[in-house]
Amino acid sequence: MDAYGHLDGMLLAILAAEPAHGYAIAQALKDRSGGVFDLPEGTIYPALHRLERSGLLDSEWSTATGRRRRVYRLTARGRRAADGARRDWSRFAGAIEAVLA
């Protein structure tokens, strides 16, 4: 099961709760989805970079326990995009369900 087309929205939603680093985001995605979205790092890191490049996230390094982590947080635009993603999802899911019904 892949997250095609909805990954960005989910990343934004997770970061809307609180800032987090990539690995933790991946785990949150897996936990919250009940194991459905157990996405490889090669999926999530590039997505985070893309979101940062497009100004929805920003990040900084934190060397917590001797381990370096890049912690991401939503920008103002990112917060708006997170809301937009929720709306887009509703519309999308409603449409699909209307067809499948």
Partner DNA sequence: ACTTGACACCTAGACTGACTATGCTTAGAG
Partner DNA sequence: CTCTAAGCATAGTCAGTCTAGGTGTCAAGT
74 with 56: CB under 8 angstroms?
yes
Burial class (CB in 10 A: 0-12, 13-18, 19+), 90: exposed
Candidate list 34, 35, 53, 67; residue touching DNA; CB under 7 A: 67
Q: Which is nearer to a copy of itself, 1 or 76 (CB)?
A: 1
Q: Which does 40 bind (CB under 5 to 8 A by kind): DNA, a copy of itself, none?
A: DNA
63 Cβ contact partners less than 8 Å away, ≥ 6 residues apart: 69
Residue 24: name the closest of 86, 70, 78 by CA: 70
Q: Which does 22 bind (CB under 5 to 8 A by kind): a copy of itself, DNA, none?
A: DNA
User: Per CB under 8 A, which region of 51-59, 63-71, 72-80, 88-96 contacts a copy of itself?
Assistant: 88-96
Of residues 4-33, which lie at the interface with a copy of itself (CB under 8 A)?
4-6, 9-10, 13-14, 29, 32-33
| Region at 91 (left for phi over 0; alpha for psi -120 to 50; beta for the rest) | alpha
Q: Which residues bind a copy of itself (CB under 8 A)?
A: 1-6, 9-10, 13-14, 29, 32-34, 36-37, 85-86, 88-89, 91-101
